[in-house]
Structure 1
Amino acid sequence: MKFILKTKNQFDQKIKFIVPFSTIVDYNKKEIIKIRKNKIINGFRKNKMPVDLIKSKYEKLIQKKVINKIIYKNFNKIIADKKISIINQPKIIINQYKENYDFIYSIYFQSIPTIDINKIKNITIKKLSITNNETDLKYYIEYIRNNHITWEEIQDKIKKNDKITIKYHIKYNENNTLIKTDKKIFTFINNKKQIIPQIYKNIINKKKGDIFFLTIKLPSNYPLITLQRKKIEIKIQIIQIQRKKIIYSQKQFIEYLNKKFQTTDIKKIYFILKSKLEEEKNYIIHKYTNNQIKKQIIKLYNLDIPKKIIKNEIKIIHQKLNEKYNQKYEYIFQLKYHKNINSTIYKKFKLEFFITSIINHYDIIVTQKEIQKYIRNTPFNHKKSIVKNIYNILLNDKVNQILLKIFQIKKHPCTFPKIMKQMFL
């Protein structure tokens, strides 16, 4: 078998295969032997049917099986040998298949581009170095205490991060008919990372009972098709405002720690918290490094992703959003349903393709033993959220370890309180 691999651009490839007619003959013989063993034709005993009769009766079946076996066996071998990662359904064209002639066919497909390692050696990554300070533990204890909160109703003006319950209804035109929804209730945290800016800005300093109106034009990719590109009017009434309240006083918090760690020994509690602080620092360094690597890949990895791939992904995301939407109009207020997802998808593919190329280039694998070891050694407070994704986490960690050897590393010293505020507050 001969093959010619041609690359059109970063993604599009074509492999032309030329299979000698003698190979076709060999495959045909094998298929005929199988039929003789497994098929029965009236008037003949099993395994005694004439070859000519089998050929005439099962010609199309034999041809189909032979073609499929040859095509996929050869294609899969080239893909494995060349470490090619396919990202679409290959298109197969039969150029020639006839008696006494070589079998010629072509396969068109898209694959993840390979990376020139030399071109990424100049990428600089900031590696976090958390300076140790005696006040770190005190800050960490207060951070834990401040995260044990309840919500308390207030009569004050609305501020950032308050929990707000509103009553609202919307109006819009549908084929020159005014559509008005029933009044609905929606509760949300007033955070600009989650709520559209029109709501976030206009609701600040409002009080319980206040009524205001907003006009919003919904984007073309809005989940509910009937509201795409529609200009809607929203009437909003504030019916409740809640603010965070720390549950424990300092004395109550000490009692909580005694119960949690099952000891009243202050030294033991100190060493447990000190250990957890170190775990937290290591976790932050790991997360910060991952974020830095992702940021630099997205920024510097040039990739002209075909529009068709982006469109297909957008279609899939819209389908999922539509299923999730289920006529819940409160999604109008949520920022994620207003964002242009093209940019997000592009970044996602850049990361995925880059990581896959590194995995292929360095033959990175994750073993079952490594997964079990990770489960045993992972700190309890982080294990819950990642158990389902352990394989991917370990794979990404191995990729990052290799990248840190390739990239230029620049130390980034930072205090524990400062990095906690940057990443979590």
Structure 2
Amino acid sequence: MMNFIPIYSKEMNMTIISKIIMDHIQKELLIISQNKNIKGFRKGKAPLSLITKLFVKDTYKKVLYKLMNDMFYKFIYEKKINIIGQPKFYYKLYKYGYNLTFNVCYYQCHEFDIQQLNNMVIEIPDINIQEQDIKNIIKQNYIKNITWLISSNNYVISINDRVTIDIYLNNKNNLVLKNKKIVLDKENYIIQDLEIALINKKHNEEFYLNKIVLNNYPNKNILNTKQNFIIHIKKIEIKKEVYISKDIYNVNNHFTYKILYNNTIKQLELIKKKIIRNAILHNFIKIFLKNFNNITISNNTLIQLKLHKEYNEYCILTNILYQKLLLKNIKEYIIFKIFINQIIIKMNIKSNMNLILDMITEEITYVNYINHNINKKYINNIFKNKYLLQLISIHTLEYQIINNIIKNMKIKKIKFNFSNI
């Protein structure tokens, strides 16, 4: 049998003393006087008496609503009252300078038994990131570029360097190759063991080499014969491998392989956290709805409480964060939301800014790997957008609550390789 959530209205009277109202109005008027452009006065120089005359009516309406809202929510927080929807405030015509007595109407609803979820089984993915996953991400997003840096005079040649040399046959009067570039980590096929002989030498050094002539030597008449050479080292260049992003907005960022490798590990760990978080939310909601499947909410209540607005906000959030809804329909969402609100009050869970930042970072990382400048810009913009920040804060609270609840549930870990997700 389907049970409708019993939602009932309650109302109460509350009073705000005049001094609090007056103090807040004066503060608001002072802010207006400092920021408003008034004709005939420089910005911030209009007298407060004029500002009061012009703006006091609109100001006290704004102040009264804020004070009523703050007083009511402080009361229900202290009394641990779980409400649904938005409260409505009523008061008679306010007389400036007097106390304000107002009436607030709000709705309370069904209490969920959280113990019902204890010992339920929830599946959580156990994701393994392998070496090849890291290499694949680097290959997909970056192009390797090699640059050569001129060494100092005291630098000792190593296997990864490129060396510019002059090669003389028999004596210094017989120059056979001028400014020949030799990359030491590959065979150049000019003179046998030339690359090995160059290692540990220094800039401007000369040495003798008695070795067999190989195929890339210019004089083919002496191929495969042993000859005496004089090698003069003119320049030593150190190889530097850098990785450049394929993203056109990130081409100015160059990374060594080591830095890129470490950064990619961090990014994959963030993506892993996001995938696990999504799975926990999705699986928990399925379990929740299955256990409370005999409870629904009436259409009239939905319209009366204007809860469809909350659902629309949730849609905005999930579109931004997940690109899809986690819940099947509006009624399921509202039931889940009622449950979450009750737990927030019971467990006294508050929004954690570090978790909010982590969640935003995880979401951005999902589509953008290493572009720290763009990531930072996105994060700053989100924190400036109070509406969006509030939605993310609510979502973070939900995740905190679910994590607290699943501590009493049985966790079944399902193993996945990152490459298979």
The two structures share one fold, judged by TM-score above 0.5:
no
Q: Given the two structures, how large is their TM-score scaled by the length of structure 1?
A: 0.41
Q: Given the two structures, how large is their TM-score scaled by the length of structure 2?
A: 0.41
